[in-house]
Chain A
Amino acid sequence: DAGVIQSPRHEVTEMGQEVTLRCKPISGHDYLFWYRQTMMRGLELLIYFNNNVPIDDSGMPEDRFSAKMPNASFSTLKIQPSEPRDSAVYFCASSSMGRAKKEAFFGQGTRLTVV
Chain B
Amino acid sequence: DAKTTQPTSMDCAEGRAANLPCNHSTISGNEYVYWYRQIHSQGPQYIIHGLKNNETNEMASLIITEDRKSSTLILPHATLRDTAVYYCIVSAYTGANSKLTFGKGITLSVRP
Interface positions of A (Cβ within 8 A of B): 4, 31, 33, 35, 42-45, 48, 50, 55-56, 89, 91, 93, 97, 101-109
B41 with A56: CB separation less than 8 A: no
Q: Which residue on B lies nearest to A47, using beta carbons?
A: B99
Binary contact readout B68-107 vs A (1 if CB under 8 angstroms, 0 otherwise): 0000000000000000000100000101101111111100
**How many A-B contacts at CB < 8 Å in the complex?**
58
Secondary structure of the A contact surface, majority rule? strand
Interface size class of B (residues with CB under 8 A): 20 to 34
Chain B, interface SS category: loop
Question: Which residues of chain B come closer than 8 Å to A97, judged between CB atoms?
Answer: 93
Tell me whether A55 and B34 are in contact in the complex, defined as CB-CB below 8 angstroms, given that A42-B102, A103-B46, A108-B42 are known contacts.
no
Q: What are 21 A-to-B residue pairs whose CB atoms are below 8 Å? A: A33-B99, A35-B102, A42-B102, A42-B104, A42-B105, A43-B44, A43-B87, A45-B100, A45-B101, A45-B102, A48-B99, A50-B95, A93-B43, A102-B32, A102-B49, A104-B44, A104-B100, A105-B46, A108-B43, A109-B41, A109-B42
